[in-house]
Amino acid sequence: MKEFEKWFKKAEGDFIIISSLILLDNAPYDLCGFHSQQASEKYLKAYLFSGNINFPKIHNLFKLMKICISKNHLFEEIEIQCKRLNNYAVAHRYPDDFDELTFKDAQNAYGDA
């Protein structure tokens, strides 16, 4: 399996988690946000690996997207989504660092991913 395929497969795993969690009553919506960010990060990295494009070891979706844009301008279409999802990378992993996410927040993150 090629490197980009591994990243794509990992992203698909995050997507499965989101789609399963969001259906639960009283779901941990913060995890929906986190896995939405994670799926998006891995999809971007899969694209970069598929083109043998070097990139730094970062988790910032906006910066990864900018690198993708330098190779394919169509990535400009997801700029807003990357900015929104970037907030879910770390902030929502710790209980004192965020307001509780709602079902609507989880739906939006899922849609952005």
Q: How many CB atoms lie within 10 A of CB 73?
A: 9
**What is residue 101's predicted lDDT score, i.e. its pLDDT?**
84
| CA 4 – CA 27 distance, rounded (Å) | 31
pLDDT over threshold 90, residue 57: yes
Which sequence spans correspond to the domains of the chain?
Answer: 3-112
pLDDT tens per residue, range 14-43: 999 999 999 998 888 889 999 999 999 999
Quick: pLDDT tens for 79-111.
999 999 998 887 655 666 556 888 999 999 999
Report residue 83: phi and psi, to 5°: -65, -45
Q: Average pLDDT, stretch 63-84? A: 95
pLDDT of residue 87: 86
Give the global pTM. 0.90
> Using CA atoms, how far apart are residues 1 and 4, in angstroms rounded to an integer?
8
Residue 58, pLDDT score? 93
CATH topology of domain 3-112: Four Helix Bundle (Hemerythrin (Met), subunit A) (1.20.120)
- Using CA atoms, how far apart are residues 73 and 12, in angstroms rounded to an integer? 24
The per-residue pLDDT for 1 is 86
| Rounded Cα–Cα distance for residues 15 and 27 (Å) | 15
- Residue 37 CA to residue 61 CA, distance in Å, equals 8
Looking at residue 52, what is its pLDDT? 95
Assess contact for 42 and 11: CB atoms under 8 A. yes
